[in-house]
Amino acid sequence: MSRAPSRVVIDCDPGIDDAIALMLAYASPELDVAGVTTVAGNVGLDQVVDNALRVCDLIGPPAAATPVLRGYAGPLARALRQPDEPVHGAYGLGGVELPAPSRAAHPGHAVDWTAGQIRAAAPGEFTLIATAPLTNVAALLHGHPDTRERLKEIVVMGGAAFAPGNTTPAAEFNFHADPEAARYVTESGVPLRIVGLDVTREALTPLADAEALIADGAPVTAAAGRMLSHLIDRYARRHTVRACAVHDALAVAAAVRPDLLEWTDAWVTVECAGEFTRGALVADVHGRTGHAPNARVASGVDAEAFRGFLMSRLRDRYGAARLAA
Ligand code: BDR
Ligand code: CA
């Protein structure tokens, strides 16, 4: 018997891998996406909202069924710091120009709207998937504390528990962008899955897959392939491989197929003060602090299975063969 789909909100900052994550989420019948909330991160909030609207138009869910909402334009406790390098291209989607959005953002605020969605669902039914700085999520848990008990879990793309960071030697971008928010969320008591660089950098999408998506030629697959090609180009300059991590899509995959990853239970927190370690995810895997685990940290991934999962979901839902059928 198939289970009812999990009701989810995706909090994101598109961003190429956020865009691929949205495509994957809407291609996954295990998820019932209530809406898309946005926060400043890879690019400024206005651009993030515009990108989210364009991506949602492209992948086709009707506007009423999948509202896009504006969230915070920067961290609440510090100044906004955007990436030094335009990893995602000037406008955040790797130079891929999608048609201007046919819809406007929902007039509500991302945080209050999400609280309403969680309250409207049965307790333990709702999952948040966060693929951006955790400003909105922290504001939700702080401003609407009753939602903590009602959430099934929060799946976070962020941090690097056992591996080096990608923004500083110690910190990953999403946690470094708003460490106070990341710390608040990790210590909130809500069940947490953390998908960090430890696994996202082990599950690379090769150029051959980007080229296959472009060759498929359907609007969504072609756009995904072109965005991934941009990211692979950027990645190759630093890592000398013709492949890229699609961090945020792995977080969506973790919500749908947690069995694609290995999980280590640990008490986790985020360093907010260190001169060189601000934004670092600290995972107490050996129980040295005496705190009970508050998170499941992804510590291994079946990279080939993820690669196949992502490609087949994108092709089956959006590919030319499906459109022709
Ligand atoms: C994270 O940072 C962003 O650039 C990506 O979209 C992803 O969410 C990876 O460190
Ligand atoms: Ca992101």
Kind of pairing between the strands at 261-270 and 295-301: antiparallel
| 8 A C-beta contact, residue 271 and residue 167 | no
Strand partners, 37: 11, 69
Say how many C-beta atoms besides its own lie within 10 A of residue 38's C-beta: 30
What is the Cα Rg of the chain in Å? 18
Determine the distance separating the centroid of ligand 1 and the alpha carbon of 286, expressed in angstroms.
28
Residues marked active site are found at 247
Q: Evaluate if pTM is beyond 0.85.
A: yes
Per-residue confidence of the chain (325 residues) as pLDDT tens digits?
457 789 999 999 999 999 999 999 999 999 999 999 999 999 999 999 999 999 999 998 777 778 999 999 999 887 767 666 678 787 889 999 999 999 999 999 999 999 999 999 999 999 999 999 999 999 999 999 999 999 999 999 999 999 999 999 999 999 999 999 999 999 999 999 999 999 999 999 999 999 999 999 999 999 999 999 999 998 888 888 899 999 999 999 999 999 999 999 999 999 999 999 999 999 999 999 999 999 999 999 999 999 999 999 999 999 988 888 8
Ligand 1 and 201: CB distance under 6 A: no
Atom of ligand 1 nearest to the CA of 83: 4
Q: How far is CA 131 from CA 12, 33, 135, 157, in A?
A: 5, 15, 11, 5
Give residue limits of the domains in the chain: 6-324
Ligand 1 and 17: CB distance under 6 A: yes
Determine the distance separating the centroid of ligand 2 and the alpha carbon of 5, expressed in angstroms.
23
Burial 220-232 (b: 16+ CB within 10 A, else e): bbbbbbbbbbbbb
Q: Which of 10, 16, 17, 234 best tests ligand 1's pocket when mutated (most atoms within 8 Å of CB)? A: 17
Whole-number Å distance between alpha carbons of 75 and 61: 30
| 8 A C-beta contact, residue 157 and residue 25 | no
Helix (H) or strand (E) holding 321: helix 320-324
Q: How far is CA 302 from CA 30, 306, 307, in A?
A: 20, 6, 9
The encoded tokens of residue 72 equal: 């915070």
Instruction: Among the bound ligands, name the one nearest to the CA of residue 12.
Output: 2
CATH fold for the domain made of 6-324? Inosine-uridine Nucleoside N-ribohydrolase; Chain A (3.90.245)
Ligand 1 and 157: CB distance under 6 A: yes
Ligand 1 and 14: CB distance under 6 A: no
| Ion ligand 2 — residues with CB < 5 Å | 13, 15, 18, 131-132, 248
Q: Which of 11, 20, 131 best tests ligand 1's pocket when mutated (most atoms within 8 Å of CB)? A: 131
Determine the distance separating the centroid of ligand 2 and the alpha carbon of 84, expressed in angstroms.
15
Determine the distance separating the centroid of ligand 1 and the alpha carbon of 176, expressed in angstroms.
11
